Amino acid sequence: MSGKRTNLLLWLVIGGSALLFFTVSLVALAVYFSDQEAPSFSLSMSTNQVALLEIEGAIFDSQTFNQQLKDYGKRSGVRAIVLRLNTPGGGVAATQEIYEAVRKFRAETHKKVIASMSSVAASGGYYIACAADKVYANPGTITGSIGVIAEWYNYADLLRWAKMQDVVIKSGEYKDAGNPARPLTEAERAYFQRLIDGLYGQFVAAVATSRKMPDDTVRKLADGRVYTGEEAKRLGLIDELGTLQDAIQAAAKMSGIEGEPKIVTPAKRKLSLLDFLLGESKAALPLPFAVDPSQSQIRFQYLWR
């Protein structure tokens, strides 16, 4: 009997291990395939296609958009891009990367890019729009806000109230500039202002070059204020007043499409239960003002507040 029990126990262990291995393998495969990028464009055999790409919410990443743009650049059936903007702007680097990607796309593919502003295309959103061949806005669109902002919280008073001290050992005067546990020194404030001025100059230069406007003219408009689409048209910051449909028709006409163009859009990524269980849903959910905690506490942004 003892031998039979031992064999039974052995088979139970083997069977349990096999079941566990099978279950873990299924989970691993599900995670792998759920993490794979969906095809970045919808399929169509039409050669009269206009791709509609959207930038929605605050801009803190450029990778997904730039990959979509690259994919559409390889498709001969896609004759033009309409870039739909509904964003208050965002990070400086991410904004500049998208701007440069659009300019490179136009230069390498010779395909037209039309920017279409929705409710808001301000600061970084306007910066990106300047990379297009033509810019459309609704009369009531909020745009402009040409400028840079850096902000963070200072909790020095809270530390004093809690009788706590912030201890820093550093290698240079500016290594902990902007430390939220103490007030800025005058030297640090001047240091940050120089950084802001440099980033501001880059924004002004991009607008002046793209809109073919004198630098001084742009600077007069670039005091951080926003404009309605109607004002922006009068000031030369955009080209035309019109809806998304107007922008699509303009893209078709400029690229030589006769008749009604076929609109193609990137495939939406589908979230699975595993995405939520494993915490992978954050990147795919529309959280426009989410901030990456790994970023510096001081964020330099082309952002309308």
Across the beta sheet with 89-91, what order do the strands follow?
Answer: 89-91, 299-303, 149-151
Mean pLDDT (whole number) for 179-191: 93
- Domain membership of residue 56 (yes or no) is yes
Task: Given the residues 25, 170, 175, 220, select the one marked as catalytic.
Answer: 175
- Domain membership of residue 119 (yes or no) is yes
Please count the structural domains in the chain.
1
Q: What is the pLDDT of residues 114-129, one digit of tens each?
A: 999 999 999 999 999 9
34 is catalytic: no
State yes or no: pLDDT of 293 exceeds 50.
Answer: no
Instruction: Give the model's pLDDT for residue 291.
Output: 45
Instruction: Give the model's pLDDT for residue 18.
Output: 59
Instruction: Give the model's pLDDT for residue 84.
Output: 98
- Position with higher pLDDT, 287 vs 26: 26
Instruction: Give the model's pLDDT for residue 154.
Output: 87
State yes or no: pLDDT of 37 exceeds 70.
Answer: no
User: Chain centroid to CA 198: how far?
Assistant: 22
- Domain membership of residue 132 (yes or no) is yes
Q: What is the pLDDT of residues 220-275, one digit of tens each?
A: 999 999 999 999 999 999 999 999 999 999 999 999 998 899 999 998 766 555 55
State yes or no: pLDDT of 283 exceeds 70.
Answer: no
Q: Over the chain, what is the mean pLDDT?
A: 84
Least confident stretch, 4-13, 66-75, 197-206, 259-268: 4-13
Instruction: Give the model's pLDDT for residue 47.
Output: 80
**What band does 46 get if pLDDT is binned at 50, 70 and 90?**
low
Dist. CA 185–CA 177, nearest whole Å = 8
Task: Given the residues 62, 116, 118, 123, select the one marked as catalytic.
Answer: 123
Write out the residue range of the structural domain in which residue 117 sits: 49-145+222-303
Task: Taking each helix axis as running N to C, give the angle between helix 186-211 and helix 92-109, from 0 to 180 degrees, rounded to the nearest 10.
Answer: 20
- Domain membership of residue 17 (yes or no) is no
Q: Is there a contact between 123 and 145 (Cβ–Cβ < 8 Å)? A: yes
- Domain membership of residue 213 (yes or no) is no
- Domain membership of residue 165 (yes or no) is no
- Domain membership of residue 150 (yes or no) is no
76 is catalytic: no
CATH of the domain at 74: 3.90.226.10
- Domain membership of residue 177 (yes or no) is no
